[in-house]
Structure 1
Amino acid sequence: MNKVSRFARRAFAATAVVVALSAPAFATHREMRDDPAAVADHLHRMGFISWRYIKWDHGYWKIEDARRDNGHEYDMKLEAGTFDIVRLEREHD
């Protein structure tokens, strides 16, 4: 039978624990990143009726030409997860 050092067994066990604990965090981030429908729902609740596109961009959601009932259009960037507005710029007519 192969003898594995105590250090190697502990290192393997510690690595396994770290991977097991970090997997849900990665899943949540990926789920949030891959769900533009959640962003669209949030935009509707903010009063926007249409937009050209929703795009994931380096930790943020980028929305181009988001339009309200009054006809004004905005480009914006929302923080992932919280959907807090990071940038809001009204387009000029």
Structure 2
Amino acid sequence: MIEVSRIVRLACVATTLAFASAVPASAHHDEVKDDPAIVTERLHRMGFVEWRKLRWDHGIWKVDDARRENGHVYDLQLEAGSFDLVRLTRERS
């Protein structure tokens, strides 16, 4: 039988463990939650016409300087998945 060095066996085990732990993490990746186009569509349905910045932050979509047709400007946060409004803060003019 071919003897394999301890370092090679250890490297194989480490690689296998790293791969096994990465697969479940990517299996739960939900593209809908990460799609800015869906957030954009939701913002338009909520009456916003433009915004300065849209970003994903720990399960929340954050929107800076979102403007409605009446000219009022807001910062808001939407929950991932459901896109429900979590926070709405009106900016002062």
Q: TM-score of the superposition, structure 1-length normalised? A: 0.69
Residue 90 of structure 2 aligns with an amino acid whose one-letter code is: R
Q: Which residue of 2 aligns with 1:62?
A: 62
Cα contact 1:62–1:77 (8 A) shared by 2: yes
Gaps of 5+ in 1: 1-15
- Residue 34 of structure 1 and its aligned partner are, at CA, apart by 2.5
Aligned identity (percent) is 62
RMSD: 1.9
Q: TM-score of the superposition, structure 2-length normalised? A: 0.69
- Residue 35 of structure 1 and its aligned partner are, at CA, apart by 0.7
Distance in 1 separating the partners of 2:53 and 2:40: 10
* Residue 81 of structure 2 corresponds to residue 75 of structure 1: no
Q: Which residue of 2 aligns with 1:53?
A: 53
Q: Which residue of 2 aligns with 1:27?
A: 29
**How big is each residue's C-alpha offset from its partner over 1:13-43, in whole Å with a ceiling of 9 and x where there is no partner?**
xxx9xx78x82xx132xx0232111000000
Relative to its length, the structure with more helix (as a share) is: 1
Distance in 2 separating the partners of 1:33 and 1:45: 17
- Residue 53 of structure 1 and its aligned partner are, at CA, apart by 1.2
Q: Which residue of 1 aligns with 2:40?
A: 40
Distance in 2 separating the partners of 1:60 and 1:27: 15
Cα contact 1:33–1:56 (8 A) shared by 2: no
Superposition misfits of 4+ residues, deviation over 3 angstroms: none
